[in-house]
């Protein structure tokens, strides 16, 4: 009789458990707001608010202005996709842009492909898909370049983002050509060898890949800001008597800041940069959020920023007045 009672009670217990809501997580990495915008950082629920710790400070968001706290971007993507109308090309295009900004390249390309299939003649969707495909091809060529140049182990070969590649092309490589190439491109720079390049676009791609491989070997993955690339840029080095001054004057000049920014971006280093006194105040919903640190810079349009070898990007950044 006891066994019969337990057997009869088991389905009822299962039904009760199935009807209970899933426990709400108290910590995560991505917060989906009620307008389906997302905020990323180290997120923790404190009372009736979420505290978001980011490299530029803290952000507080009322619980009533949120939809879901997710553990990672993949979970947030699945949540947003479940709420979207997948037969609407605009919805698929919006998801593609969001995935790209979150670093979900494969999902971004899948959503952009679906948007083009739903609306084949839509110029913006087709342009985004082409840009994503070019970015994917660039990542593949980058892997080939590493194999050809026998780079050191992965400790010196981070997974580069499109933003990192673009910044190297438009800012870092020109600095190296001006400040370092007179030694390191003439056989007088030891193991750090650069190749002269005057072509920022597609023609100089092979040379750029060779220089990128050489520079990656000068980075320290454990302590990015202590990388030889940065320390030697502001110090006199080489054989005695060959140099009388450092390649860059000091750590405050714009050229050094660009090198440091690229190194941080390459290793996804979110440590706050010193000497950034500006303040930003944000308001989300009915709650006030104060962020201390450097103001965020709106990203370039996705379609333009995806191809790091696009001369349009170079001209926009190096010659903004034109």
Burial of 64 (0-12, 13-18, 19+ CB in 10 A): exposed
Residue percentage of the chain with pLDDT more than 90: 29
Most confident of 47-56, 140-149, 157-166: 47-56
Q: What is the pLDDT of residue 150?
A: 47
> Average pLDDT of 225-231?
90
pTM of the entire predicted model: 0.44
**Radius of gyration over every alpha carbon of the chain, rounded to an integer in angstroms:** 25
Q: What is the pLDDT of residue 168?
A: 87
List CB contacts of 311: < 8 A, sequence separation 6 or more: 200, 201, 202
Under 8 Å between Cβ of 108 and 116: no
Q: What is the pLDDT of residue 122?
A: 94
CATH 1.25.40.10 domain extents, the chain: 27-138
Residue with tokens 């009620």: 34
Residue with tokens 């201390």: 292
Please, what's the largest Cα pairwise distance for the chain?
A: 98
- pLDDT tens per residue across span 210-220: 888 889 989 98
Average model confidence (pLDDT) for the chain? 76
Q: What is the pLDDT of residue 305?
A: 41
Of 199, 204, 213, 221, residue with least CA distance to 142? 213
Q: What is the pLDDT of residue 277?
A: 40
Under 8 Å between Cβ of 230 and 245: no
Q: What is the pLDDT of residue 7?
A: 64
Q: What is the pLDDT of residue 12?
A: 57
Neighbours of 238 (CB within 10 A): 13
Question: pLDDT at residue 145 above 80?
Answer: no
Question: pLDDT at residue 147 above 70?
Answer: no
Question: pLDDT at residue 288 above 80?
Answer: no
The class of domain 27-138 in CATH terms is mainly alpha
Q: What is the pLDDT of residue 246?
A: 86
- pLDDT tens per residue across span 14-68: 554 555 556 678 899 999 999 989 998 899 999 999 999 876 678 899 999 999 9
pLDDT band at 315 (very low <50, low <70, confident <90, very high): low
């Amino acid at each position: 009789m006891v066994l019969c009672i337990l057997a009869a009670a088991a389905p009822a217990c299962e039904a009760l458990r199935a009807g209970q809501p899933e426990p709400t997580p108290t910590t995560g990495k991505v917060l989906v707001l009620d307008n389906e915008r997302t905020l990323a950082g180290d997120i923790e629920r404190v009372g009736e608010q979420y505290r978001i710790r980011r490299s530029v400070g803290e952000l507080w968001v009322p619980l009533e202005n949120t939809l879901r706290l997710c553990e990672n971007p993949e979970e947030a993507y699945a949540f947003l996709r479940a709420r979207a109308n997948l037969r609407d090309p605009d919805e698929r295009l919006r998801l593609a842009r969001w995935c790209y900004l979150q670093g979900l390249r494969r999902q971004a390309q899948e959503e952009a492909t679906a948007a083009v299939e739903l609306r084949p003649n839509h110029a913006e969707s087709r342009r985004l898909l082409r840009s994503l495909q070019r970015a994917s091809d660039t990542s593949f060529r980058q892997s080939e370049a590493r194999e050809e140049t026998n780079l050191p182990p992965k400790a010196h070969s981070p997974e580069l983002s499109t933003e990192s590649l673009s910044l190297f092309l438009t800012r870092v490589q020109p600095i190296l050509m001006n400040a370092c190439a007179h030694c390191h491109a003439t056989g007088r720079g030891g193991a750090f060898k650069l190749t002269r390049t005057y072509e920022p676009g597609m023609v100089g791609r092979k040379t750029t890949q060779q220089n990128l491989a050489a520079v990656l070997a000068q980075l320290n993955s454990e302590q990015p800001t202590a990388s030889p690339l940065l320390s030697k840029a502001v110090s006199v080095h080489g054989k005695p008597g060959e140099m009388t001054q450092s390649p860059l004057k000091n750590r405050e000049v714009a050229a050094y800041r660009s090198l440091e920014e690229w190194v941080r971006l390459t290793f996804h280093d979110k440590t706050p940069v010193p000497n950034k006194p500006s303040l930003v105040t944000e308001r989300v919903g009915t709650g006030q959020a104060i962020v201390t640190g450097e103001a965020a810079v709106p990203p370039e349009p996705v379609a333009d920023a995806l191809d790091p070898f696009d001369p349009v990007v170079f001209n926009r950044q190096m010659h903004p007045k034109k």
